[in-house]
Amino acid sequence: MIDQKFDDDQAMDQDDEAASTLADYDPDRLEMDRGVRPEEIHQDPEDDGVHGDEHELSEPLPVSTTQPAANAAGPEEAAGPSKNWYIIHAYSGFEQKVAESLRTRSQAFGFSDRLGQILIPTEEVVELRNGKKVTSKRLLYPGYVLVEMEMDDALWHEVKSTPRVTGFVGGGTKPVPLTADEVNAVLYRQASSAERPRPKMTFEKNETVKIVDGPFTNFSGKVDEINLDRNTLRVMVTIFGRSTPVELDFLQVEKI
């Protein structure tokens, strides 16, 4: 279309110039000058028929849409945001229900691709029952669920609207994600407890306990020192009227 417009404009300008040239000559003189007719008048050989800006294209040539933009996003930017770990606060005792509801809602509302792993941190614990060691699982953080997701306002609203979810740890509309070290610490504690279960009971200094296993069974005393690395206690027991320190395993005592 642009080429056709250019040809039409050029033809019109040539006709205008020819008319202007004829106006400058006397027809009678032309007859005397070897009978040359006006349409046979020879134009200046150096005149190319183009007169300045008047014959320039009135619109620029289109830019190719196949040329890449200078600030086009690279492969990493095009891949979208990465997933981070967040902590959800849930009703205590309903952690598993919350995890199941999140999975169901992610399928129903179309955000399953932006939802990663859902983790309810647990650890192996051991206790003494009827003289036997019994191992079971215990929640590391009752009332909390760890979720991996691509956070934005829409997903924040969907997760917070999940039944039995009270919100995110960190507050506000922009909860703070966990650092890699924090996530690794949780995973390490969960994995290590499987190899070496922790005592189910926890104790505090100066707490009164009763010995339920060993040579001092049925004696009572106060906790003087706690060794979490070895899972042992030093309990001050009164024997023959004297306070005597006795080192005991966590499983050998119970709270009174």
- pLDDT tens, position by position, 20-46: 443 444 545 544 445 545 454 444 444
Give 122-136 pLDDT, tens digit per residue: 999 988 887 788 899
Is 51 within a domain?
no
What does the pLDDT read at residue 171?
63
Is 169 within a domain?
yes
Cα distances (angstroms) measured from residue 101 to each of 93, 118, 132, 152, 161: 14, 11, 38, 19, 10
State which H helix or E strand residue 124 sits in.
strand 122-129
**Residues 100 and 187 reside in one and the same domain:** yes
Give 163-222 pLDDT, tens digit per residue: 999 999 876 667 889 999 999 999 998 888 888 888 888 899 999 999 998 999 999 999
Lowest mean pLDDT among 10-14, 50-54, 62-66: 62-66
**Residues 93 and 190 reside in one and the same domain:** yes
pTM of model > 0.75: no
Domain count of the fold of the chain: 2
Q: How many residues would you count in the chain?
A: 256
Question: Residue 148 pLDDT > 80, yes or no?
Answer: yes
d(Cα 156, Cα 176) in Å, to the nearest integer? 12
CB contact set of 124 (below 8 Å; sequence gap of 6+):
135, 136, 137, 138, 193, 194, 197, 198
Is 123 within a domain?
yes
Give 92-147 pLDDT, tens digit per residue: 999 999 999 999 999 999 999 999 999 999 999 988 887 788 899 999 999 999 99
Is 136 within a domain?
yes
Q: CATH number for the domain including 247?
A: 2.30.30.30
Is 72 within a domain?
no
What does the pLDDT read at residue 81?
63
**Residues 143 and 237 reside in one and the same domain:** no
Structural domain of residue 230, as residue ranges? 208-255
**Residues 120 and 191 reside in one and the same domain:** yes
Q: CATH number for the domain including 187?
A: 3.30.70.940
